[in-house]
Structures are given as structure tokens and as C-alpha cells.
Chains A and B, each alone.
Chain A
Amino acid sequence: MPLLACRRVVFRLAAAAVVSGAALPALAADPAQLVQGTAQQVIDIVKTKTGADRQAAILQVLQTKFDLPAMGRFALGTHWNQATEDQRTRFLKAVAIAEARAYSERFGQYGGQTLTVGKVTPRANGVTIVDSRLNQTSGQPIKLEWEVRNDRITDVKVEGVSMVMTRRSDFNSYIQNHGGKVDALVQELETRAAR
């Protein structure tokens, strides 16, 4: 019986947490609004700008709404500690350019997509998960999950595939196949950024 009572209390607490979570956003920046706002900004950019303009605008969104240093640090994994200060700065810069280019090329022309924000789940470690769906004009909607920490987006998961995790795997493998040197990766990323 105490166990049952305990469970009931947990359920009640959980319910209370959900309610207060919904009421709180007036104080702190709302993760759902952050996601919705960012998506709207990107859609507007894709609608109005092309080429280098678009890439610059997307880079600006990435720098203001995303926590690029944290994402870069995680993507580099254990190699981050071995990298010199100079390598880290160069790496972060090259990754930012690479991401901006990837995003600006990914969408091509605006195809009428809209983003519907769903459930917002706060986690114990200060991370908030925002579920959303990217509705397309034809075909199934795409499942997008956003990770928000300290009012910045730290990861995007597309159909369960985390952008940062995939980069991490990608970068780690590249470094391993190039003698465990971070420099090889930084140079490769810089050559790609310069193209």
C-alpha cells in the first residue's frame, strides 16, 4: 500500500510539474517559442534570399539561436581535449560555415513546409526536448526533435537521427583514419568551407 500511495504521489507531482511547466514560460524564454521562432526565421530566409545572402543569413540564425560552441565541442568528442586553442577556434569556425552551407543548400526552394510544435518535455539535466513535425505539401510529415538548453538550441533530431551525434561519429572516424590528428579534420573542413 505505501508503494501504491507513493506511486500516486509521483503521478500527482508529475501532473503538477506539467501544469507549472506550462505556466512558467512567462518568466524564462519559452523553448517552444524559440523553436517556432527559429523555424519561422529560416522559412522566411529561404523564401526571400538565395545564394551567398541566404548562407550569411542562416549563419546569423545559427550563431544567435544555436549553441554552436557546445555542439562543436560535443561533436569533436574526446579529441576536443587534445586540440590546441588555435585548432578549436579554427574548427568551430569551419563547422559553423559548413552547417550554414548545409542548411542553405538543403532547402533549395521553399516548398510550402510548415512546422507544428508539439509536446515540450523538460529533462532533469537542464535540457528541454521540443517535439515537432515538419509538414510537407506531399507525403508524410517529418519528425523533428529539438534539444534546448539555456535558451539556445543544442541539437536537432530528424526522424531520430541527431545532427550532433552523426557529426561526432563522422569526425571521430575521420580523425582515426588520419593518424588520430585533429589537424587533418580541421584542414579538411577548412578546404570544404573555402570551396
Chain B
Amino acid sequence: MAASIRRSVVALALCGGLVGGCASGDTGAAEVWDPIETPNRFIFSINRAVDIIALRPLAVMYRDFVPDRAQTSVRNALDNLGEPVTAINEVFQGDPSRAATTVARFLVNSTIGLAGLFDVATSFGLERTKEDGGKTIGMWAGVEPENGGFYLMLPLVGPSNARDSTGMMMDYLVDPFRILTFNLAGNNWDAWQAARYGANVVDYRSRTIFALDDLERNSVDYYAALRSAYTQNRADAIRQKREKTDTKSELERRENLSLVK
């Protein structure tokens, strides 16, 4: 079963993630494979212009003028809407028990937590996790997690690569809330979607102001520094997932061993 899941996930990944077969070796993030650097830099400059004119000021206002409690509640509600996608990814990562915990979180927070505004589940001992398709592909792809295929600067979204953008597309396709609004809200389903993604973007940007400002100020080539930092950060997240499964399978193996004896 696990093997067949693994095979199908890898097959899915093939449409994007593994096209970047260029091995970056152990130098890893120092030389991120970026064959379309010129268009990437072009998109990056547009993104930065939009960021400087609109997004960053908005995020700063959101961070400084919206009460902290309201920000936490917005964060909780958005996280709650993302919970089903996390659960689906956890199934594909071969961790159904963790997926069950995530579903339990979703049910608790959607009801007692008033549509996700309050994270009651955490106080019940149900810890939050956040998974996405990029991590799922990265976990099963048999390459260094630093190698996510070609680097890609997405308009408005920002840094990504073949693996993570494929994962993002998968997440979008399986997202129950997208499917639900598409069916229920009829003609203005895109307005609902836009509101949700817009809120996500502002919230996310408000939490990355500090790190990105710092990176920009202390680099001589911001594009290259961000490319490296993004790749390393994602690789670290994927490596953690892999190590966790390795420890788990190791324990299972030893448990089976003792059963045989």
C-alpha cells in the first residue's frame, strides 16, 4: 500500500518536480539551479515594486494597527481553512494517524472554536501541523531536498521551484473549500476565494516583514540571497519530515523484530 502510494506520488511529481534532475551536490543551496534566471529576475522586480507600493505598507499597517487578538483570530481562521489540505497531504505522506489528528483539530476548532476563530484544539493537546504538496513530493522524491527542480519566481506569490509550485497546484486542486465555494457560492465563488487568498497574503507578509527586511538590508544581491534562503528553508522542512519517518520506521522495525523473537 505504502509502496503504491509512493509510486503514484512520485508519478505525480514527475510532471514537474523531477524534471530538474540537475544534481546540486552537497554544495546544495549555494548553487540553486536557476536556468530561467533572467525572466525570474524580471518577475522579481515587478513583485518588489508591488510589494513596496502596496503589499508591504498594507502588511505593516495590519501588523501595527490591528489588535493582536484580532490578528491571532484571523490567523486561526485561515489556518483552520487550510487544515483539510494538510490532512490530505499527511495521508499522502504515509502518516494517517497524524492526518486523523488534523481532522480532529479541524472538527473541534470549526465547532467549539467558533468557525476556527479560536484554536481550542491546541489546548486539548492536538498540536497544529502545516503540510503542503511541495513537502509531500519532496519527502518521496529520491533527491536531495535542496534539489526542488528549477527555481521559479511566481508573480505575486514569490519564490518557488518546480517541486513547490507543482505541490501548490495539487493543493489547490484537492482543497475542499475551493471545491465547496465553487459549488455553493455560484457566480461569485471567485470573490470568496480572492478574499481568502488576499487575507492569507497580507497575514503571511505581516509575519515576514522582519526577516525579509533583514535579508534585503544585509545582502549585496537580494534576489540571490532570497533564492538561497528559500531553498534552504524548504529543504530543512523536508529533511525534518524524512528524518521523522526514518526514526518511526526504525522503531517499527525493531518492534517487529522483538515480536519475531
Contacts and interface: CB of A to CB of B under 8 A. Distances in A.
Contact of A166 (B31, B217, B229, B257): B229
B224 A160 contact: no
Contacts of B120: none
A168 interface: yes
A102 B218 contact: yes
B245 interface: no
B14 to A, nearest CB: 26
B220 A160 contact: no
Contacts of B237: 160
A160 B235 contact: yes
A189 B221 CA distance: 12
Interface in B133-191: none
A161 B214 contact: no
B224 A162 contact: no
A161 B233 contact: yes
A95 to B, nearest CB: 11
Contact of B232 (A4, A77, A160): A160
Contacts of A89: none
A170 B233 contact: no
A173 B235 contact: no
B105 interface: no
B220 A185 contact: yes
On chain B, which size bracket covers the interface? Answer: 20 to 34
A81 interface: no
B215 to A, nearest CB: 8
Contacts of A170: 219-221, 224-225, 228
Interface string A144-172: 00000000000001011110011111111
Given A160-B235, A166-B225, A166-B232, A138 B68 contact: yes
A156 B232 CA distance: 13
A102 B214 CA distance: 8
A123 interface: no
B236 interface: yes
Contact of B224 (A106, A138, A172): A172
A174 B221 contact: yes
Contacts of A172: 30-31, 224
A188 interface: yes
A82 interface: no
Interface in A78-135: 98, 102, 105-106
Contacts of B30: 77, 165, 168-169, 172
B202 interface: no
Given A77-B30, A102-B214, A172-B30, A161 B232 contact: yes
Interface in B243-261: 257
A177 interface: yes
B29 A189 contact: no
Contacts of B224: 169-170, 172-174
Nearest to B236: A160
19 contacts: A4-B257, A157-B236, A160-B232, A160-B235, A161-B228, A161-B232, A161-B236, A162-B232, A165-B28, A165-B30, A166-B229, A169-B30, A170-B219, A170-B221, A170-B224, A171-B220, A172-B224, A173-B221, A174-B224
